[in-house]
């Protein structure tokens, strides 16, 4: 599994036409490239037009044509899709605009990656009525995009997971935290898998359950008893040897 890059290239063109100080119209265009594979085979080009922040019409390279999202957008999409030259240009943007820029961005970032420090710990133990909660934290990584996945017996968990966004540390590095609610089961293996551009393969950290306090007390008492028993046995052996060395045997 290759690390997800999930980088995007954005081009925003803003056009405003105001009719007065209080009222106006806001038109915008947002062109973006989204991909996750290192060979750009899954590259998607999206070109959307918005009116007052609502999407009106959009071109998606996976669809291959414009799609309208409002009554005006549907009519606009029909007209744009009949423009052969425009359609050829839009379909070519995957290579001309997306892949070309992605190669430049990736080469600039790849030499500056920093592997995350990963920690898995328990933040809440199960009390029988409520599930336990584990926390997987990744610190000081760069670039920003990262993917955190919980595994149960090496199978991805798709429920009972909440994660934060990538949060900046203020020093060019980032951090992210993910919580997992679960009910402990005997023999179950729980791991946190982190995928990032700094590593060619997923980084997996297994959770090692801490022994409960009651169990630790039992172990401590048992160990103390064992040590005390050894001391008493050793003292008895020493006493026996001393008594034996001072005894005179008289033949009958």
Looking at residue 188, which CATH number applies to its domain?
2.60.40.10
C-alpha distances in angstroms, 60 versus 42, 92, 115? 13, 12, 34
**Which residue bears the tokens 């064992």?**
226
pLDDT score at 19:
45
In this structure, what CATH number is given to the domain that contains residue 61? 3.10.320.10
Query: Do 149 and 199 belong together in one domain?
Result: yes
3-class secondary-structure state, position 40: coil
Q: Containing domain of residue 141, as a range?
A: 117-206
What phi and psi values does residue 3 have, to the nearest 5 degrees? -65, 135
Residue 131 has pLDDT above 70, yes or no: yes
CB of 135 closer than 8 Å to CB of 143: no
pLDDT tens for each residue of 37-51: 778 888 999 999 999
pLDDT score at 18:
46
Query: Do 102 and 182 belong together in one domain?
Result: no
Residue of 26 and 90 predicted with greater confidence: 90
**Preceding amide of 143 cis, omega within 30:** yes
Domain count, the chain: 2
pLDDT score at 153:
93
pLDDT score at 215:
47
Residue 241 has pLDDT above 80, yes or no: no
Proportion of the chain above pLDDT 90, given as a percent: 48
Last residue of a domain, one of 89, 110, 131: 110
pLDDT tens for each residue of 204-220: 999 988 654 444 455 55
pLDDT tens for each residue of 228-240: 667 776 666 666 6
Query: Do 102 and 49 belong together in one domain?
Result: yes
Report DSSP letters for 171-226, one per residue. SS-EEEEEEEEE---TT--EEEEEEETT-SS-EEEE--PPPPHHHHHHHHHHHHHH
Q: Is residue 235 part of a domain?
A: no
Q: Is residue 170 part of a domain?
A: yes
Report DSSP letters for 51-71, one per residue. ETTEEEEEEETTTTEEEESSH
Q: Is residue 217 part of a domain?
A: no
3-class secondary-structure state, position 30: strand
Q: Extract the tokens encoding 17.
A: 């036409």
Residue 156 has pLDDT above 50, yes or no: yes
The pTM for the full model equals 0.48
Residue 180 neighbours by CB distance under 10 Å = 24
User: Based on the number of CB atoms within 10 Å of its own CB, is 250 exposed (0-12), middle (13-18) or buried (19 or more)?
Assistant: exposed
Q: Extract the tokens encoding 165.
A: 């966004």
pLDDT averaged over the chain? 81
Query: Do 138 and 201 belong together in one domain?
Result: yes
Last residue of a domain, one of 62, 90, 110: 110
pLDDT score at 223:
59
């Amino acid at each position: 599994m290759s690390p997800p890059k999930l980088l995007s290239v954005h081009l925003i063109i803003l056009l405003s036409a105001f009719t007065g100080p209080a009222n106006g119209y806001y038109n915008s265009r947002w062109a973006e490239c989204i991909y996750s594979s290192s060979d750009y085979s899954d590259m998607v080009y999206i070109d959307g037009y918005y009116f007052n922040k609502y999407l009106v019409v959009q071109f998606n390279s996976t669809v291959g044509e414009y799609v309208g999202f409002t009554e005006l957008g549907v009519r606009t999409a029909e007209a744009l899709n009949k423009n052969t030259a425009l359609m050829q240009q839009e379909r070519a943007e995957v290579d001309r605009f997306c892949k070309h820029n992605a190669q430049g961005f990736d080469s600039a970032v790849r030499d500056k990656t920093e592997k995350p420090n990963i920690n898995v710990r328990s933040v809440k133990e199960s009390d029988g009525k409520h599930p336990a909660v584990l926390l997987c934290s990744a610190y000081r990584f760069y670039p920003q995009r990262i993917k955190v996945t919980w595994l149960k017996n090496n199978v991805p968990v798709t429920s009972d997971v909440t994660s934060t966004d990538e949060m900046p540390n203020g020093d060019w590095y980032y951090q992210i935290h993910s919580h997992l609610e679960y009910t402990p089961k005997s023999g179950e293996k729980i791991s946190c898998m982190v995928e990032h551009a700094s590593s060619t393969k997923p980084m997996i950290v297994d959770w090692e359950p801490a022994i409960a306090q009651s169990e630790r007390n039992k172990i401590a008492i048992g160990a103390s008893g064992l040590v005390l028993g050894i001391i008493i046995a050793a003292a008895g052996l020493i006493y026996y040897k001393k008594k034996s060395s001072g005894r005179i045997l008289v033949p009958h």
